[in-house]
Amino acid sequence: MKSEKPRVAIQGIRASFHEEAAFRFFGEDIITVECNSFKQTFDVLKAGKADYVVMAIENSIAGSILPNYSLMLSYSFPVVGEVYLPIQLHLMALPGVKFEQIKTVTSHPIAIRQCGDFLDEYPDLRVVESSDTAACAKRIRDEKLTDTVAIANTLAAKLYDLEILERRIESNKKNFTRFLILTTHENAKVNNPDKASLCFQVSNEVGALAKVLNIFAEQGINMSKIQSMPVLGKPSEYNFYVDVEWEDNKKYDQSIKQILKYTHNFNIMGEYRRHEEEGISLRERPKTDSNKKKYIEVKKLSTLK
């Protein structure tokens, strides 16, 4: 019998920021499917070995994670949600290890980049990048490394029995990573979406993109993000990835109808509820239910079929 718990594929291992993002969306009662790469998370979903993928797409300091846009397009699994996770970073070591013993700091490149001010104070420390913050913490525990620390989250410190030597070492305390939740088409029913991720191309002529963006403006649809990526093998052709948010469904439908006339290879990559949480206000918005409730509604609908 299929488990009731959602199986969530992440790049990385348990207690990574990807798992923390999954907890935010689904609650902690999930089965985490650990994967070695983002591509593998999609393969696992395709093979029916996971129900969802949680994937980082942009970071307030490091910017967009561009290869993940291409992956989304090539697998065309629908986006059914998003999570904005504050990235709170701690320095952790084996219990009893003193700061003076440390020679090496290990972490994910995004995490390392976000601790620039702290690391600048200790130029003698060797900084080593790895694929996953939690994997760095686990390695310290498994190999009993007394000269190495990891930069990771509280989940990792707890799960891998490490001691936090220094809390909140991130340079910018308001730094967030945005994660997308993707699933299979049969699971993908979302109630009352108010945000969409779109992808399209426009012809290479004066005002072509402006025309599309003006349609959103005229309909009162807010564009929350735009990202362009070259189309592989087609010089001067670009995919535009655009996120839009709305209050009035009719206006959204209307704008999509209109922009179809001015775009090609138009794709709705997902329609979902925008992330809403205390303290993470990108703009003033009306309050909505929590993501967890939304997930339960999606789940109920998908099991009714």
Q: Which residues bind ligand PPY (CB under 6 A)?
A: 12, 16-18, 56, 87, 108, 110-111, 132-134, 177
* Alpha carbons 269 and 195: distance in angstroms, whole number: 11
Check if the beta carbon of residue 219 is closer than 8 Å to that of residue 299.
no
Instruction: Tell me the helices (H) and strands (E) count for the chain, helix number first.
Output: 10, 15
Closer to ligand PPY by CB, 56 or 79: give it.
56
Q: How far is the CB of 32 from ligand PPY (least distance, A)?
A: 11
The owner of tokens 């109920």 is 300
Closer to ligand PPY by CB, 106 or 291: give it.
106
Closer to ligand PPY by CB, 133 or 291: give it.
133
Q: Hey, what amino acid is at 263?
A: T
Closer to ligand PPY by CB, 41 or 239: give it.
41
Closer to ligand PPY by CB, 159 or 198: give it.
159
Cα–Cα distances (Å) from 83 to 58, 116, 243, 287, 301, in that order, read 11, 25, 14, 16, 21
Q: How far is the CB of 91 from ligand PPY (least distance, A)?
A: 14
Q: How far is the CB of 176 from ligand PPY (least distance, A)?
A: 9
For helices 208-218 and 249-259, angle between their N-to-C axes, nearest 10 degrees: 160
Closer to ligand PPY by CB, 92 or 298: give it.
92
Which residues are paired to 151 by β-bridges? 91
Q: How far is the CB of 171 from ligand PPY (least distance, A)?
A: 13
* Alpha carbons 4 and 304: distance in angstroms, whole number: 14
Q: How far is the CB of 249 from ligand PPY (least distance, A)?
A: 32
Q: How far is the CB of 2 from ligand PPY (least distance, A)?
A: 27
Closer to ligand PPY by CB, 38 or 262: give it.
38
Check if the beta carbon of residue 20 is closer than 8 Å to that of residue 90.
no
Instruction: Reduce the secondary structure of 22-84 to three states and give it as a string.
Output: HHHHHCCCCEEEEECCHHHHHHHHHCCCCCEEEEEEEECCCEECHHHHHHHHHHCCCEEEEEE
Q: How far is the CB of 213 from ligand PPY (least distance, A)?
A: 29
Q: How far is the CB of 111 from ligand PPY (least distance, A)?
A: 5
Closer to ligand PPY by CB, 15 or 93: give it.
15
Closer to ligand PPY by CB, 2 or 173: give it.
173
Host H or E run for residue 134: helix 133-142
Cα–Cα distances (Å) from 138 to 93, 132, 219, in that order, read 10, 10, 50
* Alpha carbons 71 and 77: distance in angstroms, whole number: 10
43 in the Ramachandran plot: left (φ > 0), alpha (ψ -120 to 50) or beta?
alpha
Q: Mapping DSSP to helix (H, G, I), strand (E, B) and coil, where does residue 200 land?
A: strand
Q: How far is the CB of 21 from ligand PPY (least distance, A)?
A: 8
